[in-house]
Amino acid sequence: MRTVAGLLVTTGWGQLRARPAADSLAEARRSGLGTAGVLLVADVLSVLTGRARRAHCLDAVVEAGWVLARWCVPTQGPGGGRRAA
């Protein structure tokens, strides 16, 4: 549990420290999307196999929300224009 917490803190710190350049922001968003996706799958599988309580389903719902938000919200394109991600 401490290892996972440390990895999540490190990932979050990296996202917060991303430079405002398009490439840096895109990498931070991919990192966040990947992290949320992995946690979502881990929670669902843990609940289905009986290794975690059903309360972890709430966590999975939040992670699914992050994944959907990333997929549905357009990102800032070059020159300040908006583009789909």
CA 66, CA 31: separation in Å to the nearest integer? 12
How far from chain centre, in Å, is Cα 47?
A: 20
Please tell me the pTM assigned to this model.
0.70
Place of tokens 């389903």: 57
Confidence band (pLDDT; 50, 70, 90) for 49? very high
Distance from CA of residue 43 to its chain's centroid? 14
Residue 77: which pLDDT band, with cuts at 50, 70 and 90? low
Measured CA to CA, the distance from residue 57 to residue 44 in angstroms comes to 7
In which band, very low, low, confident or very high, does the pLDDT at 22 lie, cut at 50, 70 and 90?
confident
